């Protein structure tokens, strides 16, 4: 019998919609033409890209000419931040971002620091929220760019992006948001003009890997990041990933068509997941805001365990989750996000994240929690610290 897989890592990537795969296939074979070609075979690809661009633009209230397809969400983040910094360097050298960004943003900002830019990394509160007041405090006449994510990938927190963007734009400063986790999960709109740039990625919404987009408001002067051909209105060289773009648009269409229903369904499962765990597993806490949270996002810290150990044991039952630590040079460092929300290192090591998807069932969640209870219980039973702590705790 094939092993049952319970996939609860949808923040890392998602299974593709079969319909999206289907729409891609002809563009690998009979419709393979290079969209830059001068014949009708090429035009098919070109037309498909423009249709996709219109669909994607409509999904965030943008104009088609403001959407640029990229090779990933990472590329969109790099492009937006590096090129905006370069284009507006005459105005100033100060950039503001946050301590809880994805590495695609954080490492890009660090690279700019090495080029001589000054970067302020805002701290979130203990729920992972970046307050508008904290942004107001650090804006200077020298600030040219603010980059704050719409929703966090590790703790699922939704940021008050409308307000943050408004504050920024009112002062004539560019606002970029990494919306890779939020796109397709929340209604997003650039219509009020406060967001100058927005990044998203296909594989987080049931589309293919290796394709993303950057929305660039039409007044933003953004130079090309990749030099070469004249694709994407001379702003993003490289032969277009036609199948990827077509698959992205189809996935977006399906995602947005069912967005509200998915959100309601996932929210119910998420709350059930969190409540059951908090009720049945001692010394657990939710990381990130309970209220301002992505619908399918569940994340905890458990004391007296290592997240990695639990994950390995869950994997043998076919359960796919994620921990909050990144393994670097053989040592496990607690995640920068968990550190930023003020969790002590030993607590942050016990982080586990489960991100639900369109195929997740209540049965999957019950099975996962049952296994977690057992695994966490077993690990704790072997811990001398836990025995001591539990005994003392029990007396009080
Ligand atoms: C996944 C992710 C990215 C990177 O997108 P890729 O398309 O995988 O490069 C960037 N930011 C956030 C918040 C993400 O979750």
Kindly give the distance from the C-alpha atom of residue 103 to the centroid of ligand 1, in angstroms, as a whole number: 9
Task: Tell the CATH topology of 6-13+259-392.
Answer: 3.90.1150
Distance from Cα 140 to the centre of ligand 1, integer Å: 29
Taking only the tens place, the pLDDT of each residue in 124-181 is: 999 999 999 999 999 999 999 999 999 999 999 999 999 999 999 999 999 999 999 9
Ligand 1 pocket test, candidate residues 73, 152, 159, 336, most atoms within 8 A of CB: 73
Query: CA-to-CA distance for 345 and 339, rounded, in angstroms?
Result: 7
Distance, in Å, from the CA atom of 198 to the CA atom of 269, rounded to the nearest integer, reads 29
What is the token pair recorded at 170?
Answer: 């009112």
Token representation of residue 355: 């991100």
- Residue 322 DSSP SS3: strand
Q: Give, for all 396 residues of the chain, the pLDDT tens digit.
A: 677 899 999 999 999 999 999 999 999 999 999 999 999 999 999 999 999 999 999 999 999 999 999 999 999 999 999 999 999 999 999 999 999 999 999 999 999 999 999 999 999 999 999 999 999 999 999 999 999 999 999 999 999 999 999 999 999 999 999 999 999 999 999 999 999 999 999 999 999 999 999 999 999 988 898 999 999 999 999 999 999 999 999 999 999 999 999 999 999 999 999 999 999 999 999 999 999 999 999 999 999 999 999 999 999 999 999 996 655 555 678 899 999 999 999 899 999 999 999 999 999 999 999 999 999 999 999 988 888 888 888 754
Q: Closest Cα partner for 14 from 255, 243, 240?
A: 255
- Provide the phi-psi class of 325: left if phi over 0, else alpha when psi is between -120 and 50, else beta: beta
The domain locations on the chain are 6-13+259-392, 18-257
Reference 175, options 145, 133, 218; nearest CA is 145
Residue 225: which of 46, 101, 81 has the closest Cα? Answer: 81
CA-104 nearest atom, ligand 1: 10
Annotated active-site residue 301? The verdict is no
In the predicted model, what is the mean pLDDT of the chain? 95
The predicted structure's pLDDT at residue 396: 43
User: Best substitution site from 9, 69, 71, 74 to test ligand 1's pocket, by max atoms within 8 Å of Cβ?
Assistant: 74
Residue 342: the pLDDT is 96
For 241, half-sphere exposure in the C-beta direction (CA atoms, 13 angstrom radius) is 19
Nearest ligand 1 atom to the CA of 101 is 13
| 299, burial (CB in 10 Å: exposed 0-12, middle 13-18, buried 19+) | buried
Give the chain's length. 396
Give the pLDDT score at 391.
Answer: 84
CA of 329 to the centre of ligand 1 (A): 22
Closest CA to 122 of 160, 84, 87: 160
Q: Hey, how many other C-beta atoms are within 10 angstroms of the C-beta on 98?
A: 26
Rounded to an integer, what distance in angstroms lies between the CA atom of residue 341 and that of residue 124? 6
CA pair distance 176, 234, nearest whole angstrom: 21
Tell me, yes or no, if the two domains 6-13+259-392 and 18-257 fold the same way: no
3 state SS of 55: helix
Ligand 1 binding pocket (C-beta < 6 A) is 72-74, 77, 102, 104, 149, 153, 178, 180-181, 201, 204, 212
Looking at residue 388, its pLDDT comes to 85
pTM of the model: 0.96
User: Tokens for 189?
Assistant: 């709109």
pLDDT digits (tens, 9 = 90+) for 313-330: 999 999 999 996 655 555
Let me know: does 84 contact 206? Beta carbons within 8 Å: no
Which pLDDT belongs to residue 387? Answer: 84
Question: Looking at residue 329, what is its pLDDT?
Answer: 53
Report pLDDT for 240. 96
Class of domain 18-257: alpha beta
């Amino acid at each position: 019998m094939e092993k049952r897989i319970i996939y609860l890592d949808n923040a890392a990537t998602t299974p593709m919609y079969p319909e999206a795969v289907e729409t891609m296939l002809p563009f690998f074979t009979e419709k393979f033409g290079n969209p830059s070609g001068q014949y009708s075979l090429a035009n098919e690809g070109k037309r498909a890209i423009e249709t996709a661009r219109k669909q994607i633009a409509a999904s965030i209230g943008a104009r088609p000419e403001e959407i640029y397809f990229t090779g990933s969400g990472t590329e969109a983040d790099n492009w937006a931040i590096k090129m905006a910094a370069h284009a507006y360097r005459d105005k100033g050298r100060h950039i503001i971002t946050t301590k809880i960004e994805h590495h695609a943003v954080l490492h890009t900002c660090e690279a700019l620091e090495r080029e001589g830019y000054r970067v302020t990394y805002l701290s979130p509160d203990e729920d992972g929220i970046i307050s508008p007041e904290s942004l107001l405090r650090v804006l200077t006449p020298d600030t040219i760019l603010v980059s704050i994510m719409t929703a966090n990938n590790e703790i699922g927190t939704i940021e008050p992006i409308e307000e943050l963007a408004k504050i920024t734009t009112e002062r004539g400063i560019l606002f970029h948001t990494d919306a890779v986790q939020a796109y397709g999960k929340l209604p997003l709109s650039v219509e009020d003009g406060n967001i100058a740039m927005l990044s998203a990625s296909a594989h987080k919404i049931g589309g293919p890997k290796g394709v993303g987009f950057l929305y660039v408001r039409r007044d933003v002067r953004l130079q090309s990041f990749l030099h070469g051909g004249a694709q994407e209105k001379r702003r993003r060289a490289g032969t277009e990933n036609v199948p990827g773009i077509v698959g992205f648009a189809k996935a977006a269409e399906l995602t947005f068509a069912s967005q509200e229903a998915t959100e309601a369904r996932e929210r119910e499962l998420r709350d059930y997941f969190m409540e059951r765990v908090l009720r049945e597993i001692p010394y657990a806490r939710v990381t990130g805001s309970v209220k301002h949270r992505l619908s399918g996002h569940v994340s905890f810290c458990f004391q007296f365990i290592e997240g990695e150990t639990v994950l390995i044991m869950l994997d043998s039952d076919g359960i796919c989750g994620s921990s909050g630590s990144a393994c670097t040079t053989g040592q496990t460092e607690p995640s920068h996000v968990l550190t930023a929300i003020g969790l002590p290192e030993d607590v942050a090591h016990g982080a586990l994240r489960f991100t639900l998807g369109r195929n997740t069932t209540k049965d999957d969640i019950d099975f996962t929690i049952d296994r977690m209870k057992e695994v966490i219980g077993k690990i704790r039973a072997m811990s001398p610290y836990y025995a001591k702590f539990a005994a003392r705790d029990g007396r009080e």
